[in-house]
Structure formats: C-alpha cells, structure tokens
Structure 1
Amino acid sequence: MSSTRTLELPELALILLIGPSGSGKSTFAARHFEPTRVVSSDRCRALVSDDPGDQDATPAAFEVLHTIVDKRLAARRTTVVDATNVRAGERQSLLRVAKEHDVPTVAVVFDVPEQLCITRNAARTDKPGAEVVRKHHGELRKSTNDLRGEGFHRVHVLSGERETESAGIEWTRLRSNAREEHGPFDVIGDVHGCRAELEELLERLGYHLRRDGNGASVDAEHPLGRRAVLLGDLVDRGPDTPGTLRLAMGMAESGNALIVMGNHENKLVKVLDGRRVKMTHGLELTMEQLSETDEDFRELVRRFCGELPEHYVLDGGELVVAHAGLPEYYQGRDSGRVRAFALYGSTTGETDEAGLPVRYPWARDYRGSAIVLYGHTPVSSAEWLNRTMCLDTGCVFGGRLTALRYPEGELESVPAKQHYSRPARPRAGTDDEAATERRNR
C-alpha cells in the first residue's frame, strides 16, 4: 500500500493547479483550501456571463481572474488558481503577476488518465466534451516538461486518481517569518571579524560568555533570556573571522542569537562552493584565516552561512532586521529582488568619486509601521530616521561596534581596539568623532 503524498506549500505563494478539465483540480481545491483563497476560471466566467461553461466569456473571465490574483498578492494573500493552466503562455502571464509582487510560485500538476477526465465531464453539462479534454491532455504533455525552467519555485506532480484524491498538504513557513519571536533582543551591527569587540559588547549587554577548552568563546547567554540579533557581515576585513564565526554559530545553535546574511557571507559561500569570485574587500584575509582551520570547520561555515535568511520579520511584524534594510513592501516576501535588496540595498545608477555605486536612500522615504534595523553602510553614529536605524558604526574601520536594545530603544557600543581596515568611502554622517564618543558613553 503506497503512502499518502504530502505537498509542501509556502505559507505565502501563488499556486497554479494544472490539468485537463475533469482531472480533479476543483475537488482538490475544495478539500484543501479556504474558498476565499481559490480563484476559479469557471467562477469568473459565471461572474461575467452567469454561465460557468460559457467559453465565449473566457477572455473577460481571465481579465477578472488576473485582477483578483493581482490584488490578493499585493495584500500578501496566498492565492490558488483553479484553471486548466495547460498552456505555457497562460502560466507565464500569472508568473509575471507573482514576480511583480515578490511571491514564490508553485505548480501542482494533475496527471490523470484522459479517459477518466472524459468520463467525469460527461456527467456534467457545464464541462467541455471529449474533444476539448483530448486537446488539454495534448497541451499538458507538450508544455509541462520544464515547469521549473518557466520560473516555478516548486513543482508537484500528482499521478493517477488515487494520488490526486489521497494527497495532503503541509504549509511551510517562509524563512523570514519569525513573528512569534518577541524578544527582547539586542541587535548588533556589522562585526567584520572583530571578535574581541563582539565579546566585549556582549558582556556589556549582560551576556555570559562560554568558552571551550582552548579558551575560545563558543556561546553567550543572557541571564534574563534576551537574544542577540546579528545583522550580517560577520566576516572579512577584521583580525579574527574564524573566532567571530565560532561564537556566532554557537549562539545560533543554542538559540541565543538570530543571524541574517550579509553580502560578505553571500560572497564567502560562493568561494567556499568553489565558484570564481574576486578576492577583494577583505575576502582574501578571511580565506587566509580559514586556511588555518580544519576542513570540517570550513564545511560547517559554508553550510551555516549558506542557510542564513536574508531578513527576519520579528515580534508580530513590529520589527524587521536585514543587512542592508528593507522597504515596507518587501517585508515578509520572498524573491530574488527582495533578497538582493536585503543584502545590498538599491543603487541610483550613479557612482561616487571613489567609483562606488551611490546607494538609494530608501530609509528617507520609509513610512512603514515596523521598525527596521540594518547595517551595511557605515555611519558615524546610529540615529533614528523614519523608524529605521543603521547600526553599522564602522568598528573594523576604527569606529565602534553598536547594539540597540529592543524594545527599549537604548544604544550600547564599544570602541574598536584599532583601525583594522581602510574604508572605501568615508563613513556617512555629519557628527565629528568627539560628539559620537560622548553620545555612546
């Protein structure tokens, strides 16, 4: 006896049911999805013509269908399209809508025998006849061989009547969704291999360091249950990337820290995967330091950094953390565009006097309800701007390592022990170092 198939579906997604008329899509949808989540081509035909089987109403019906899908995805509502969807062109138009709203897409294919579909349709007057079903089957065979190549993030194929009727679903959480984590948190800016400063800052925040037999710090726990949130760029430029990673990974494993990926971790994963990468911006120093560790540690680093989320939505949606920040519309969504913004921010298309891209000042226009904490672009001092704050105060460049206590809103920082690296551009901000020092004491 075969086991029941379980389809894993993202909690926020556009889900296309694909199969000939009579293949069981509507029955499957009614069994597994709330009615408001299902947008049916038959229902849309009925809305515009009072007849769900009126094929002449199909163009107008699909205009309605696309409008509903667009509005639901804009509102972060998972949407299931119950239509044949057997033509690649029909699927592409819906995939474009999902891409515009930075929502992952799932294909559920109903591979049911042609004759069974014909028999089912024969019992219903509002369903197409055998000739149309055969055409659907032919189109299904021709156009669904490479659904992943079309842009679907996941593809599930249900084969035969028994599998389509017995299959179950399991909703999977997006990696960014940590709304149930309510803190309190200590959110820490870019560390860049400054392990000693990270240890000092954690102790100042009240954490107790745990060390291994060699004296290396491998975890830090707060007696009141607070958790650290590290904003990425743990690596590169600084004096001890392996030690920083060992501490951060230990805190993540024990549940004492949440960590998002920075652009420097993203690049490190690529080189550890054997891909060709320019050894610049401190990566060459990191690889030199990692060469003194064993292969098991380097593999652990590769897996750990590669699995980091690009952003988190925390505290019921009240707090968002991302390495380079994140505008309101991207928060809690999942796409290449969202990931790129979280890692690198956005640029204006111009370059500055140093030949570097000019960053678009997204925080200046931010009007979202969530607090957004980020790093990436060093500033002279951490300041609030429209419920956002950059916590990268340039420790590796001789500045400070800064944390914000959330929800208290209190800043804590420690000075760099020395200048470890030269910045590509001056740190942003107009305050002089003396004013910065006074404000952070």
Structure 2
Amino acid sequence: MDNSRDSYRIQKMPSDIWVIGDVHGCYQTLTKLLDKIEKTHQDPECVFIGDLVGKGPDSEEVLKLVSQRNGRFTSILGNHDLHLMACFHGVSKTRAGDRTDSLLGSKAAPSLINWLQQCDFVLQASHGETQFNLVHAGIHPTWSETELSQRLAKLNKAVKSEDWSWYKNPQSDIWNTANILTRMRCLKIESMELCNDFTGPPDEADQSMAPWFEMEPAANSHCRVVFGHWAALGRHSTNRAECLDSGCVYGGELTALHLSTGKTISVKNAESP
C-alpha cells in the first residue's frame, strides 16, 4: 500500500445508539423492529451495520426510510451497498438475486445513491473504557489505527467520485481495503489473506483458515468490533467481536444492539413470501 500521509478522521458516535444488523431490503421487518425499539427509546439514534439493500423485496423503501430520518439514522457501507452503487455507475451489472432493478430504474435512484455515497465504512463509539469499531465485515487484524485511517481516506474519496474503475480491480489498493471491510470472514492462517470463497460457519472452515477475529497479532485488539455480513456465523458475542447478522433475509431475525447497555432486540422476518 502507498504510505500516503493522508488520513481520515473516523466519526465518533454516542454510545446511546442502536446498532442494527443486515436489513437486505426487508422493509416490513425493519419497521417492526423500529416499532419495538421506539417503545423503549423515543426518537432513537440508529446505526445500520451495512447491506441495507439486496436480496430482499423492498430495497428502495428501506433506503428511503433510513435516509429520510432527520439525521437520526445513518449506515455503514456493506458489500451489497457497494454493488448497488457500482451498478448505478455502470461498472457492474445486477444479478438475479439482487432484486434491485426497480430501485436503479426509479426517479429516486440518483438521490438515494448520493446518500449512500456519503456513508462511512467505519464508525467509532466508546462506553466507559470500551472502544467500539462499527464495520460491516471486519477490520484486518494487522491494521493499526493509523493504517486504517490512511486506507479510509483513499476509499472514501473513491466512493464519492464518479470514477469507479477501482471496483473489483484486484490490482487496486482501494479495492483491497473495501474487500476487507465489507467481505471478510476467514483469513488464511499463514499469509493473513482473505478466503473470499468461504461463506459457511466457522466450524466448516478447513485448518488452513480461521475467523478474522480469532487471528493474532491483533493491532486493534483494544477495540471491540461490532459487525454483520456473516449470516452463517449468526449472532456471536465475545470480548473482541460481536456479530449482528442473524440471517433476516434468509428467514431468520433482524437484530438491534443497544451499544451502551448491551441490550438486544430481535424480530422474525416479516416479509411476504
């Protein structure tokens, strides 16, 4: 990676927030979850862990709801959000399972894509002595805070631009950063490289790989990482990492975590077949 001195100031969030797992276009389920949250927290502040769109039946309504909530809602970018933006910019094509063609063809698409392009890849919060990193898939265990900041500076600039030639370009450092932050599950134990082809639960991984949050050394081990993305892992909670992807779009649940108290609220998938 180019050792540029450019760095990015990661936005700090208050600890009194709800972090919500992968929505994937499940609008009806999301509204039910928000109703439950609002019974205990009036006008809650929510951070979505990424993948607002894709696979589910109503990505457009999900984006409209989250983007129009008067600054109380924000989202981290996930791999499906990136794919949607890449399709909009003409460097990728929709897949049969995306269910986003109507969104991309709607009059609202330019404004919704513009809103997504202003979202972050990593947010931070702290409560007491615990610092949290909020990210869609994970943060590479070898990255220091400085390296993460430098990588984010380049990536955020690229996402906000009209030039998306970096997307899925294996020679691009920018894509390498995006790939790790939005798609990482397991790493090769010897080389610490991504195992992109593996999407199953950790107990099905072969002995040459391990979940990223179990790898050493961990340059950022002082932070607890809250993430989604890994539906086959499901709800997972340790001192080092917390996964909120409870497989809503696959018929599971949509989960929210109240960061300062550790309380969770879940609702079952409520989408029509």
Name the TM-score, length of structure 1 as normaliser. Answer: 0.47
1:261 aligned residue (77, 80, 89): 77
Any conservation in 2 of the 1:190–1:233 contact (CA below 8 Å)? yes
Matched with 1:373 is: 226
Matched with 2:211 is: 361
Any conservation in 1 of the 2:183–2:196 contact (CA below 8 Å)? no
The separation in 2 between residues aligned to 1:187 and 1:270, in whole angstroms, is 25
After TM superposition, the runs of 4+ consecutive aligned structure 1 residues lying more than 6 A away are none
Matched with 1:301 is: 112
Shift in Å at residue 380 of structure 1?
6.3
Any conservation in 1 of the 2:37–2:44 contact (CA below 8 Å)? no
Amino acid at match of 2:260: P
1:245 aligned residue (63, 68, 77): 63
Amino acid at match of 2:97: G
Q: 1:313 to 1:334 in 2, by over 3 A?
A: farther
Shift in Å at residue 280 of structure 1?
2.2
Partner secondary structure for residue 341 of structure 1 = helix
CA-to-aligned-CA distance 1:168-221 (integer Å, 9 cap, x gap): xxxxx825x123x3230111110000011111111111169xxxxxxxxxxxxx
Shift in Å at residue 274 of structure 1?
2.0
Any conservation in 1 of the 2:77–2:119 contact (CA below 8 Å)? yes
Q: 1:234 to 1:303 in 2, by over 3 A?
A: same
Amino acid at match of 1:227: E
Amino acid at match of 1:269: M
Amino acid at match of 2:184: G
Any conservation in 2 of the 1:183–1:226 contact (CA below 8 Å)? no
Shift in Å at residue 244 of structure 1?
0.2
Establish whether residue 105 from structure 1 lines up as the match of residue 5 from structure 2: yes
The separation in 2 between residues aligned to 1:318 and 1:353, in whole angstroms, is 28
Partner secondary structure for residue 236 of structure 1 = coil
Q: Number of residues paired by the alignment?
A: 228
Matched with 1:178 is: 11
The separation in 2 between residues aligned to 1:255 and 1:231, in whole angstroms, is 16
CA-to-aligned-CA distance 1:301-353 (integer Å, 9 cap, x gap): 22112222111122387111110022453555232344331111165448459
Residue range with higher mean Cα deviation, 227-236 or 340-349: 340-349
| Higher relative contact order, chain-length normalized (CA < 8 Å, sep 6+) | 2
Matched with 1:126 is: none
CA-to-aligned-CA distance 1:236-261 (integer Å, 9 cap, x gap): 1111111000011112xx22122110
Partner secondary structure for residue 407 of structure 1 = coil
Q: 1:353 to 1:191 in 2, by over 3 A?
A: closer
Matched with 1:320 is: 133
Shift in Å at residue 290 of structure 1?
4.1
Matched with 2:249 is: 396
Establish whether residue 197 from structure 1 lines up as the match of residue 42 from structure 2: no
The separation in 1 between residues aligned to 2:177 and 2:199, in whole angstroms, is 28
Q: Which has the larger radius of gyration?
A: 1
The separation in 1 between residues aligned to 2:271 and 2:233, in whole angstroms, is 16
Q: 1:246 to 1:384 in 2, by over 3 A?
A: same
Matched with 1:405 is: 258
Matched with 2:89 is: 273
Percent identity of paired positions between Structure 1 and Structure 2:
25
The separation in 1 between residues aligned to 2:211 and 2:184, in whole angstroms, is 9
Partner secondary structure for residue 373 of structure 1 = strand
Q: 1:205 to 1:406 in 2, by over 3 A?
A: same
Partner secondary structure for residue 239 of structure 1 = coil
The separation in 2 between residues aligned to 1:352 and 1:178, in whole angstroms, is 31
Amino acid at match of 2:26: C
Matched with 2:101 is: 287
Gaps of 5+ in 2: 152-173, 189-194
Matched with 2:269 is: 416
Amino acid at match of 2:215: D
Gaps of 5+ in 1: 1-94, 99-103, 107-172, 209-221, 421-441
CA-to-aligned-CA distance 1:96-115 (integer Å, 9 cap, x gap): 5x2xxxxx435xxxxxxxxx
Counterpart mapping for 1:228-243 below 5 A: 228-243=46-61
Matched with 1:114 is: none
Q: 1:281 to 1:319 in 2, by over 3 A?
A: farther
Counterpart mapping for 1:5-404 below 5 A: 96=2, 98=3, 104-105=4-5, 174=8, 177-179=10-12, 181-206=13-38, 222-223=41-42, 226-251=44-69, 254-275=70-91, 277-280=92-95, 282-283=97-98, 285-291=99-105, 293-294=106-107, 297-315=108-126, 318-327=131-140, 329-331=143-145, 332-335=148-151, 336=174, 337-345=176-184, 347-348=187-188, 349=195, 351=197, 360-365=210-215, 368-379=221-232, 381-404=234-257
Amino acid at match of 1:342: L
